[in-house]
Structures are given as C-alpha cells and as structure tokens.
Amino acid sequence: MGRAGTAAPLLAAFLAGASCAIAADLGEKLAPCLACHGAEGQSELDNVPSLGAQPAPYTVIQLFMFREKMRVADPMNEMAKDLGDSELQSVADFIAKQPAPRPPSDTGDSVRLERARALTEQSHCNVCHRPDFSGRENVPRLADQREDYLLKTLRDYKSGARRGYDASMAEVLQPIDDAQFIEFAYYLARLR
C-alpha cells in the first residue's frame, strides 16, 4: 500500500488551484483511495477497478450511490460515507484526469478477441460506451478495465446485486448468458 506516496506530484498539480485548506483536506481523503485503486489510474488489486480517465459524471453518480447505499459494495459504502456533495465532484474531476489504464502485456488470443468484438457489436455495447470504449457522461469507460472486475460487475448487474443509476445495464444483459460475460471481460480488458 506504500504506493500511495507516488501520487503526491499528481495530487499537488491538481490541487495547485485550490485553497490550502481545501487542498490538504482533499489530499488526505484521496490517499487511501489511491492506495487501493492505484496511484496512476491503474489498479493492481484483485476485483478493484481501475479509475483512470473515467468520465467525471459517471464517477459522481457512483460515489453518490455508494454514499447513499444505493450501490452496495464493501468497502465503498464506508469510504464514501463522509464525502460532501462538492467533494464528490472534485474527487471525480481528479480521477478523470488520471491516466487511462494500459492493456496487459499478454495480447490475448486473436480469434477469441475477434469473436468477442463481434458480440459486443451485436449487443450494441459500443453504441453507449463508444466504439473505443472510453465512455462518456454517465456511461463508464470499459477499455482496459481489469478483467476480474468486469466479469464480477456484469454478473452483479444480472443478479441484481448491483443496482444501476438507470435500468440500461439490467435490460441490456437480460438475454445474455454467463459464457458471453466471460468473453466480454476478456475482450474489454485487452483493448489496444
């Protein structure tokens, strides 16, 4: 967890414009976040999502939902509990400016990737999440997200364990089976 220390220059740059009191407070709040989620946008921990380059409106909504226990997940309900409304926005703005996660060095099986790409088109995933899966507004970035987290969260939408801000994902995934979730996660985690 010592990695959090490496976020200091990024944090300092981001907070340069803010007043000292606010900056110190936000920096203190972000340090534990980055210890889990990775200091440079990329998570190294199982089932912990990478946050880099995530659109700010999506992050604001998710932090709000964690805070209000509309999205129930350890440890995020506890972590978001004390974030005020203006902090949701400043944390989301910081996250949006972190570097996007990188694809793994393993390029993957090209036949399997091509099949999965076609499946994402059939299901219109690329329409809402954008053709390069960088997301926009309240639709999250998926490109090079961790494979384990992608699979877990698709299963959570389908089972109802994860409630979305709107019903889009529950509806989209309703006719799709688990074997396809495994392919989506494989593909999205390896986008180049």
Applying CB under 6 A, the residues found at the interface with ligand HEC are: 29, 32-33, 36-37, 47-49, 51, 59, 62-63, 73, 75-76, 79, 91, 120, 123-125, 127-129, 138-140, 142, 145, 150, 152-154, 162, 164-166, 168-169, 172, 176, 184
Closest distance of CB 176 from ligand HEC, Å: 6
Tokens of 127: 């329409």
Which residue, 50 or 106, is less far from ligand HEC as judged by CB? 50
Would you say 17 or 175 has its CB closer to ligand HEC?
175
- Min dist. Cβ of residue 16 to ligand HEC (A): 20
Residue whose CB is less far from ligand HEC, 44 or 109: 44
Give the nearer residue to ligand HEC in terms of CB position, either 65 or 110: 65
162, 183, 154: which is closest to 72 by C-alpha? 162
Name the nearest CA neighbour of 59 among 36, 76, 82, 43.
Answer: 76
Q: What would you report as the CA-atom Rg of the chain, rounded to the nearest whole angstrom?
A: 17
Which amino acid, 60? V
Query: Which residue in the block uniquely carries the two structure tokens 């946050």?
Result: 51
Report the nearest approach of ligand HEC to the CB of residue 105 (Å). Answer: 22
- For 108, the token pair is 């993957």
What is the smallest separation between the CB atom of 69 and ligand HEC, expressed in angstroms?
Answer: 12
* Alpha-carbon distances of 46 from 145, 171, 174, rounded to whole Å: 12, 27, 26
**CA-to-CA distance for 55 and 188, rounded, in angstroms?**
17
Nearer to ligand HEC, 42 or 120 (CB): 120
User: At closest approach, how far in Å is the CB of 40 from ligand HEC?
Assistant: 15
